[in-house]
Amino acid sequence: MPKSKYPKSDWIRPLVRDLHPYTPGEQPKVKGLVKLNTNENPYPPSPKVLKSVRDAVDGRFRLYPNPTAQQLRDKLADLHGVDRDRVIVGNGSDELLALATRAFVEPASKRKDASGRSVVQYWVPSYSLYPVLSDIHGAIRNEVPLKPDFGMPSVAKLKSEGKWHFKAALTYVTTPNAPTGRGYSNKELRALCRAQDGIVILDEAYVDFAEENAMSLAAEFPNVLISRTFSKAYSLCFQRMGYFVGHPHLIRALDSIRDSYNVNGIGQVAALETLKHRSYYRANFKKIIRLRTEVGSELEQLGFDVLPSQTNFLFVKPPGAEAAKWYEGLRKKKILVRWFSSSAFKDRLRITIGSAEEMDQCMDAIRSLAKKLSDW
Ligand SMILES: *Cc1c(COP(=O)(O)O)cnc(C)c1O
């Protein structure tokens, strides 16, 4: 390359140059840190899953994996009582959430879009990946605030207020929601899905910690996709395994634009084995849910405002000092939680429910900080 050439900013598309990329929760290298910031499961995968992965490390690495994750799709279809053509597997559910923008949303040529073809819509707060996916695709974001108690406004209310776009090409609903932890009832979700003329993705990343799931809505409505992941409840973040269930028409659209080998072979092995040991995982859900209740009431006694949670985390407003101070104070005591510094809810912290030992350490740190509040 001649010397006069230098990296010019206009080699990069303006859309990409100006993008605010997704910020994943920190994966710190600090030893002995109690990591309660990314909603990972404190329990390891079933020993049988780990064995299946070890046993798969052999000469087959030479070969491409099954391109449609066929065995896994079949098992997932059985699990949910649907036909195989209603399931697609992705490299984490994040991959499928991104594919959905490409399959269902027209990049915007104007700033306004009454037809909704270029509109990606979601509640605020919800999963912070959605705006990034929308921006990457050059779509128009429609961000609609939840109620002050983080509940969903009724369809009637949405219609009267006029901010919600009932023809949005794509609507993402995190349910139960993150980072609030709040669950939505199937009744209100059904009303929303029915009113919507466009695709609705119900992102159920945390549903195994909830009382209700909305899988039946994928059978009831041709415009609804249910998103699930092995990451959080099934201790498999590392392997990147997620899937959608929905109408074959929508699944086919997603299938036609994905990479041929989007799901790696070891991930397929691990997910398949996971499905054989669901009772192991159910026992873990129970432990996490029990601990969630205990930690929640202890925090309330210490003066925290604790939102009711249907997930494996608590979204809390700490007393006395700003959330930023609590975040820093906890970090000094080697407890890492999530604080969304530049958001409308920067007065709150999101605390993942870890193991009993981890939560003991976390509560010890919180109690000692609460005592010192007056010194801050
Ligand atoms: C963690 C999370 C995901 C991502 O799941 P992966 O399958 O690991 O990509 C999707 N949606 C929500 C709301 C999440 O919190």
Compute the distance from residue 205 Cα to the ligand 1 centre, in Å.
5
Topology of domain 48-277, per CATH?
A: Aspartate Aminotransferase; domain 2 (3.40.640)
Q: Say how far apart CA 56 and CA 53 lie, in whole Å.
A: 5
Residue 376 pLDDT more than 80?
Answer: no
Compute the distance from residue 251 Cα to the ligand 1 centre, in Å.
19
Locate CATH 3.90.1150.10 in the chain: 9-45+279-375
Q: Say how far apart CA 192 and CA 40 lie, in whole Å.
A: 30
Q: Say how far apart CA 182 and CA 292 lie, in whole Å.
A: 13
- From edge to edge, which strands make up the β-sheet containing 349-352? 305-306, 313-317, 349-352
The pLDDT assigned to 4 comes to 66
The mean pLDDT value for 347-357 works out to: 97
Residue 1 pLDDT more than 60?
Answer: no
If we measure between CA atoms, which residue out of 128, 121, 142 comes closest to residue 22?
128
Q: Say how far apart CA 236 and CA 92 lie, in whole Å.
A: 10
Q: Say how far apart CA 262 and CA 264 lie, in whole Å.
A: 7
The overall pTM is greater than 0.85: yes
Residue 279 tokens, joined: 């009772």
Architecture of domain 9-45+279-375: Alpha-Beta Complex (3.90)
Ligand 1: residues whose CB is within 6 Å? Answer: 92-94, 127, 174, 178, 203, 205, 229, 231-232, 237, 242
Compute the distance from residue 226 Cα to the ligand 1 centre, in Å.
13
SS (H, E, C) 151-211: CCCCHHHHHHHCCCCCCCCEEEEECCCCCCCCCCCHHHHHHHHHHCCCEEEEECCCHHHCC
The mean pLDDT value for 167-196 works out to: 97
The pLDDT assigned to 321 comes to 86
Compute the distance from residue 232 Cα to the ligand 1 centre, in Å.
8
Ligand 1 pocket test: pick from 132, 207, 231, 237 the residue with the most ligand atoms within 8 Å of its Cβ. Answer: 231
Atom in ligand 1 nearest the alpha carbon of residue 232: 1
**Burial (0-12, 13-18, 19+ Cβ within 10 Å), 21:** exposed
The mean pLDDT value for 340-357 works out to: 92
Task: Classify 244 as helix, strand or coil.
Answer: strand
Q: Say how far apart CA 85 and CA 92 lie, in whole Å.
A: 19
The pLDDT assigned to 375 comes to 62
Sign, CA dihedral 250-256-230-121, equals: negative
Compute the distance from residue 180 Cα to the ligand 1 centre, in Å.
14
Compute the distance from residue 204 Cα to the ligand 1 centre, in Å.
9
User: What percent of the chain shows pLDDT beyond 90?
Assistant: 89
Residue 302 tokens, joined: 């210490």
Locate CATH 3.40.640.10 in the chain: 48-277
Atom in ligand 1 nearest the alpha carbon of residue 230: 7
Q: In which band, very low, low, confident or very high, does the pLDDT at 5 lie, cut at 50, 70 and 90?
A: confident
What's the pLDDT tens digit per position in 44-91? 999 999 999 999 999 999 999 999 999 999 999 999 999 999 999 999
Residue 376 or residue 150, greater confidence: 150
